[in-house]
């Protein structure tokens, strides 16, 4: 009796495992790989007609995979073109493309062209950029390259992953911004009064820009969803519930950090050179000199921020002009208000960097001189 019960239990267990295995095989999704390929041959684009108008364009293409599991294998595919310039990928012989390879049931493989390979020229441009920095700047250029690498590492490997895990963007962005500022200034300028003043001015200016943007954004009820990319974050597989207004704050801090660091170091460096030339200057005279330098730099750097944000919005501005949209409607749109607040808050932070840097630099430099005299 016991043996029959045991055999029955084993039979049920094996049957259950078999059924589950079959179910898993049935619902198993096809594997897909993103790889690179080169176009070996490409026929002329043909139009498939219906009774009214062309419904699609096709192109017979032969590809050779150049990376991954199927490297060296060739596939002949039909490249379907919809007629939409934004999404179509027409190819010719010799083109390097990104393909998606899907392993379907019954060992069938489906290959689709999804994008051109662009990374090669991006890498070439980066190499030229680094070479020019090193040739022109020499040791300073090497330091600039190191700080740039550290900045990218901090953003890509620390800031973005932590935000993606659901961490509040505001404190982590502030810490990253301050950390980047301290490292950059000390590497570029060394451990001295100039660097400390530049750090103080940059930190004050950037935090002011972020706080103003966050406060005004709350008052005008910005959603933080003014861009298409922000809206797409609502559907990411991680299921993170973002505070999009905080993300806007984070973006303003990071976006204005470079320009604010530039003006902070420019003022502090100029004040140091002025003070070396005339160490009899009073603290007030030194502060005034720093403010004069800042005023000259302020105009161009403010234009830099405004033009940077405007340049990225040219297609949108052209749409408004083409459809003769009223100014009242334009200024009250979420996406437009977001960009205006972003650029103005960054510019305000940049302007406030000038007196902060000049005040700290004049105080530290005169204090150091008094200590030396004593």
Q: Which pLDDT score, from 0 to 100, does residue 48 have? A: 60
CA proximity to 113, closest of 146, 152, 82, 135: 82
Give, in words, the CATH class of 31-117.
mainly beta
Distances (CA, A) of 196 to 98, 142, 351: 47, 21, 18
Residue corresponding to tokens 């303003």: 252
d(CA 249, CA 260): 16
User: What per-residue string of b and e applies to 204-230 under the rule 16 or more CB within 10 Å gives b?
Assistant: bbbbbbbbbbbeebeeeebebbbbeeb
- Encode the chain (374 residues) as per-residue pLDDT tens digits: 444 434 444 444 444 444 444 444 444 455 777 889 999 988 877 666 554 555 567 888 899 999 888 888 888 888 888 777 777 888 888 889 999 888 877 778 888 888 999 988 899 999 999 999 999 988 888 888 898 899 999 999 999 999 888 888 888 988 999 999 999 888 888 888 888 999 999 999 888 888 888 888 888 888 777 777 777 888 887 777 888 888 888 888 888 888 888 889 989 999 999 888 888 888 888 999 999 988 888 877 777 777 777 777 788 888 888 888 888 888 888 888 888 888 888 888 888 999 999 999 988 887 765 555 55
Q: Tell me if the pTM is above 0.85.
A: no
Q: Which two tokens stand for residue 366?
A: 């005169």
One of 3.30.470, 1.10.10, 1.20.1640, 1.10.287 is the CATH number of 138-373, namely 1.20.1640
Q: Which pLDDT score, from 0 to 100, does residue 131 have? A: 93
Domain ranges of the chain: 31-117, 138-373
């Amino acid at each position: 009796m016991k043996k029959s019960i045991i055999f029955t239990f084993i039979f049920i267990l094996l049957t259950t495992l078999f059924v589950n295995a079959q179910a898993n095989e049935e619902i198993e999704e096809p594997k897909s790989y993103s790889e690179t390929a080169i176009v070996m041959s490409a026929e002329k684009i043909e139009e498939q007609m219906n009774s009214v108008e062309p419904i699609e364009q096709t192109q017979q293409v032969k590809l050779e995979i150049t990376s991954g599991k199927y490297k060296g294998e060739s596939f002949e595919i039909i490249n379907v073109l919809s007629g939409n310039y934004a999404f179509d990928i027409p190819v010719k012989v010799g083109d390097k493309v990104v393909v998606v390879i899907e392993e379907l049931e019954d060992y069938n493989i489906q290959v689709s062209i999804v994008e051109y390979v662009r990374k090669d020229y991006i890498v070439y441009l980066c190499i030229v950029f680094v070479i020019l920095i090193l040739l022109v700047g020499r040791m300073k250029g090497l330091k600039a390259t190191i700080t740039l690498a550290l900045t990218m590492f901090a953003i890509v490997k620390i800031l973005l992953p932590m935000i993606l895990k659901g961490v509040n963007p505001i404190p982590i962005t502030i810490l990253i911004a301050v950390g980047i500022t301290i490292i950059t200034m000390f590497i570029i300028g060394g451990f001295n009064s100039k660097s400390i003043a530049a750090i103080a001015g940059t930190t004050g200016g950037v935090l002011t820009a972020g706080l103003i943007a966050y406060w005004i954004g709350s008052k005008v009820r910005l959603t933080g969803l003014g861009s298409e990319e922000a809206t797409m974050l609502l559907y990411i597989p991680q299921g993170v519930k973002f505070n999009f207004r905080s993300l806007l704050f984070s973006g303003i801090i990071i976006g204005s950090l470079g320009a604010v660091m530039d003006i902070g170091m420019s003022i502090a460096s100029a004040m140091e050179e002025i003070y070396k030339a005339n160490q009899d200057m009073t603290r007030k005279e030194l502060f005034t000199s720093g403010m004069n330098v800042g005023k000259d730099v302020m105009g161009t750097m403010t234009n830099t921020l405004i033009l940077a944000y405007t340049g990225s919005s040219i297609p949108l501005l052209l749409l408004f002009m083409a459809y003769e949209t009223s100014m009242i409607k334009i200024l009250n749109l979420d996406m437009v208000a977001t960009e205006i607040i972003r650029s103005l808050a960054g510019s305000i932070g940049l302007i406030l960097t000038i007196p902060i840097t000049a005040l700290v630099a004049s105080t530290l430099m005169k204090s150091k001189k008094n200590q030396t005299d004593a």
